[in-house]
Structure 1
């Protein structure tokens, strides 16, 4: 019998879990389209990803209006990350990746690491006051021209007690082609307690 890795099992489970979505949530003359059924299944646990003006972008397409795609790629700093169900007595790890580098059709550089923070106190995560040990600085979403929509995925893991999380020298050298599943397995992070994603594309298109 083949034994699957916990993270692989998680992603398979996500693919089988239906998530109810509403069509076309509007604000400030923009239409914020929610992800289709397939992509929305990644969104679990009510993890909030909050950017200026946009609010919580979890499970949505970033709209082209008001130059939002340009702002998220060129100007805005890291979003507020809030997980209201966080246990105040535990610590967490945040991972942000692009699995579609350089494109969803040919993702030969997946997972492109955009943000990695360990030792996040549950109370801080619960209140959206993200502090911890930054292992990879936040990289803005910058899909290459003519590469279509990219998924930007956020995953929250419970950090095992007394576990020291670190990147290897090889991992630190480049954010591209990161073996995220091996990293998760190495530090016994298990499956995410919450996950979400948004989709955006190059703002010039």
Structure 2
């Protein structure tokens, strides 16, 4: 009987150990799972033409929320430089204009400073867009996405325009002074850029929220 009891006890302990290994971590333990959520139908409609915006570790963030895990939001706001931008359909013989704006400054509920200009590059050869390593002529250097605290999610919209041949594009002295409340539509109309050939966006908010 003693031998049988010992065997049953050993089997019970092994079963308990195996069951424990299959359980999820305790609630107070940090989760290693990182969830990537795509945008809602309304916001996803902005993503057209397969334009890619590629950040370290995250890859193409087009049409998605930036996850809070692994401090991705903080690193995007404080550490990472300009992303790679790739457009596989770019024509080698043409040049393009790239615009990155925040239409939700200071918040989506009260966008009185839209559009906040985060990046503006002209004269981008199609060959550079095909590889994602763009240079071109920088009119506004890349500004990291930095949503203010308690302002909710901000949309960061990337638009790519075909640049008219022999068109010299520049910002006015007033536009160079301020990044906020930029009249992007007037800029597009003035330089006859037309509709974007491709566009995408991602959403993020202050990294401590």
CA distance in 2 between counterparts of 1:32 and 1:47 reads 18
Unmatched 5+ stretches in structure 2: 1-31
- 1:16-35 matches, cutoff 5 A: 29-35=33-39
Residue segments in structure 1 that go unaligned for 5+ positions in a row = 1-27
* CA distance in 2: counterparts of 1:166 and 1:130, whole angstroms: 18
- The correspondence for 1:182, drawn from 182, 186, 197, is 186
Q: TM-score, normalised by structure 1?
A: 0.86
Instruction: Please give the alpha-carbon distance, in whole angstroms, between the structure 2 residues aligned to 1:201 and 1:88.
Output: 36
Displacement of 1:29? 2.8
For residue 182 of structure 1, report the CA deviation from its aligned partner: 0.1
1:101 aligns with 2:101: no
Give the structure 1 partner of residue 158 of structure 2. Answer: 154
- Alignment counterpart, residue 167 of structure 1, candidates 171, 194, 200: 171
What TM-score does the superposition give when structure 2 sets the normalisation length?
0.84
Q: Deviations over 1:143-185 (max 9, x none)?
A: 0000000000000000000000000000000100000000000
- SS for the counterpart of 2:89 is coil
Query: How far 1:142 sits from its partner (Å)?
Result: 0.2
Alignment of 1:12-161 (within 5 A): 29-161=33-165
d(CA) in 2 for partners of 1:109, 1:188: 24
3-state DSSP of counterpart to 1:114: strand
Larger radius of gyration: 2
- Runs of 4 or more, structure 1, over 6 Å off, are none
CA RMSD of aligned residues (A): 0.7
